[in-house]
Each structure stands twice: as structure tokens, then as C-alpha cells.
Amino acid sequence: MIQGAGSNVGKSLLVAGLARAALHRGLSVAPFKPQNMSNNAAVTADGGEIGRAQALQARACGRAPLVDMNPVLLKPETDTGAQVIVQGQRFATVKARDYGRLKADLLPRVMESFTRLGDSADLIVVEGAGSPAEVNLRRGDIANMGFAEAANIPVVLAGDIDRGGVIAQLVGTHAVLPPGDRNRIEAFIINKFRGDVALFDEGLAEIARHTGWSSGGVLPFFPDAWRLPAEDIMDLRGAARAGGYRIVVPRLGRIANFDDLDPLAAEPGVSLEIIEPGRALPGDADLVLLPGSKATLADLADLRAQGWDVDLMAHVRRGGHVLGICGGYQMLGRAVRDPHEVEGGGSAMGLGLLDVTTTLAPAKTLALTRAVHRDSGAAVEGYEIHMGQTAGPDCGRGWLEVAGRIEGAANGSGRVMGTYLHGIFTSDAFRRAFLGGLGAKGSDLAYDEGVEATLDALAAHVEAHLDVEMILGLAR
């Protein structure tokens, strides 16, 4: 199990790299994260949803993603509450203060998934969440040491030297852990090093002297990490390319399933920019993309509070294009209604750029979906993950076709479009046709091949700098 001395130390990437390295060694490998918190989810082959990072790790293992790889997924809906997904399906919506009482009931489900997954693999590489140093959360823990104890597995602790203070991160974790948890850690890794690794030899010796843990090595910063799908919107690196087709994305407060942006950011002829709150939408944008949202009504209100609705109307008057995906699609309509109190009830006027109306409903649609782009005939692979249905005259101008039915909507000019399908831009032929239809310069980018090549490069990077033999040898 890879745990971190803090959040965002690179656990997800370490698991993916170790998993791909083990796969190259001929092992059957599977990823596992007992509890994740993310609104960037993936739909699985067995009809549920898991964290996007575990879907990438499954790919590193050469496997299709399954719900057992992330049995508990927390999807924040407000600052104090989250939707709880258990083994791929919606279980409850709870306040943060009430979640602790659920953990005892969730641990058997976590162990059930872990055991079932283990039946199909030689090796499981587990990712922790946050840090075990948060000892105030140890009671009832299912994400870090509580799970490691229940599963009786060894832990490798990773520290992030890029943010500074890595010796204190690791030695401090050792100091605050109770003896049983401290003794479960058998090795440590230094991640994101920049410069001459030999300069940290004395640092490794100090950490080992204070903790008694073995060093698994120092992993230099992996510069191509941006080529892999991002789980956190802060990790998505768009490229501001001079003269490129300019796509701007307002960063909604509850942005979800923004993996739609990764292939666009990788396009050499595209300049993709995330617009932070407090900034106006640029007047020279070619396309404004409204992404998915975990709470459509709340994000629609935030969009208006930022003045982005005014910017969007001006963009349309100038002849610009607009694409809404999932929650963004719902916002583009005339109204969003919540009669079943999925998001607290009530209704709100939409942006009025599409003649459609959305009614939110408790049943969640989860599906891997194959479609056809009606204009070009290009095949599209994507997924649906939404609560609600959208209908209205502009649905008759949907620009995708799924099993004989029209999907999505467009206005009369065709410059404002919406769809419920996520992940569609990973389909190379479709992405080229879509961008070409907007006047953007196409490219021969093979996105999925690039992801595979980057995972192989990550595995080689891990093999070159970490003691992979020792780390894999800890498994039992």
C-alpha cells in the first residue's frame, strides 16, 4: 500500500507507475483504493462508477476498470456534504460530521471488494487517501492505516520533496503514529525530486536513522505527467499556444468529470485555458466549453454570480461557439427543475441558449456509450453519468446518434451545442471532425496511444530510480 505523508504527494502516479512496471514483469496486477474523494469519476465495465485515478491505474494494469477497485467514492456536493458511492452505486448523501458513523458499516464492503479483486490478480497495489498522519481521523479509518490493518498489508510511505520539508513530513509522520501503525510502514519513497539526486543522500540517511524504515529510492519529477488524464482540475495543464484555436473553460465550483478537457489540451492546434473565478471570459475565445457539474443548480447560480452569463451572451453575439457537457448542457437550457429535491429542490432559469428543459431525478444514469457523429459519421466512445433528463425542440437537432436515437441538442445556428456524453474527445477521428467543423486546425494526434506511451515511460522512470525489486518484494 502506497500512503502519502500529505495530500497530493503523487500517490496516484506512483501506483500507476509501479503497476505498469509489475505488468511488464509478467505479473497480473490490479489497483485498489478503499476510499477516494473526487467528483471526477469513471464509469466501469460492470456498470458503476469509481475515481478517475483508479480508472487510469486499471489501464496501467492492462485491465478494464471495475467497481471493486474503488469501493467507496465520496463526491462532494457542498462544502459540508457528499454523495457516498458504495461499490459503484449511490448509497447515501451525508454531512461530513455524519460520515464517520457510516465507516464501520462500509469496512466489510471494502474488504469484500479487496478480497474479490485479489482472486483475479497476483499483486494488488493499494493507494491511500490523504495522510495517515491525520491521527484525529484514525478511529474507524478505512482509507489508510485502518484498511492496512484490516487487510494486513505492508505500507510504503511517500513524501513530496517539491513542496519542501520532506524530512519533517516523513519523520513527523513516524512521530505521531501509534506504534502498531508506525511498524506497518516498511519503506519510504521521496517523490518529485528536481536536480542531482546524489545531493539528497544525507537526507535519506537522516530519515532512515529517525524512522528505521528502508529507502525505496528517490524519484525525480516526471515531466510528462501532464499527458495523463488529470484527477484534480488543478493538475490539468492547458497550453496557451499563440494562434491556436482558443477554448476557454469557466472553472465551476463543483466541476465534475472534466476528463473531456485532457484530449483538447493535448491538441497542438488548440489553446485551452481554465478561467478561474474573478476573471471574465476572454472576448477573443473561439469556443466556451461548460463542463460537467456535481450540483447543476448551485453552479448555475455561481456562474451568474461571476458574471459569466453576461460574458457568454456577448460571446454568442460575436458569433462564438458554445458546448455544454452534462451539467453544462443542462445549464444551457431554458430551465432546470428539481421536483424530487435531488439538489435540494426548487428550480432555476437556465441560460436560455438552447430550447430545452431539464428535470432532475433521483435515478442516476451510468453507461458506457458508443455513438456516431451525425455530420462526419465518425465513431465516438464515451460515457454517461448524470441525474436527470433533458427534452425540448432543440433535441431534434442533436448532433450525435446512439443506437438509433438522437443524442444532445443544438440551436438553429448550430453554434450552441450540448450533450450528456463525457469522454468523447478521446475518439481521434471525431475530435478532428468536431474541431474542423468549428474552423480549428486538425492534427494527427493519437490520444490513447499517447497515454499508453506515457504509462510505459512512467514505468521505465520508476524502474530507473526506485528499488522496485525491494518494493514488490514487500507484498504478502
61 is catalytic: no
The one catalytic residue among 326, 395, 461, 465 = 326
Per residue, the 3-state secondary structure of the chain, as one string, reads CEEECCCCCCHHHHHHHHHHHHHHCCCCEEEECCEEECCCEEECCCCCEEEHHHHHHHHHCCCCCCHHHCCEEEEECCCCEEEEEECCEEEEEEEHHHHHHHHHHHHHHHHHHHHHHHCCCCEEEEECCCCCCCHHHCCCCCCCHHHHHHHCCCEEEEEEHHHCCHHHHHHHHHHHCCHHHHHHEEEEEEEEECCCHHHHHHHHHHHHHHHCCEEEEEEECCHHHHHCCCCCHHHCCCCCCCCCEEEEEECCCCEECHHHHHHHHHCCCEEEEEECCCCCCCCCCCEEEECEECCHHHHHHHHHHCCHHHHHHHHHHCCCEEEEECHHHHHCCCEEECCCCCCCCCEEECCCCCCCEEEEEEEEEEEEEEEEECCCCCEEEEEEEEEEEEECHHHHHCCEEECCEEECEECCCCCEEEECCECHHHCHHHHHHHHHHCCCCCCCCCHHHHHHHHHHHHHHHHHHHECHHHHHHCCC
422 is catalytic: yes
The one catalytic residue among 315, 422, 461, 465 = 422
Catalytic residues: 326, 422
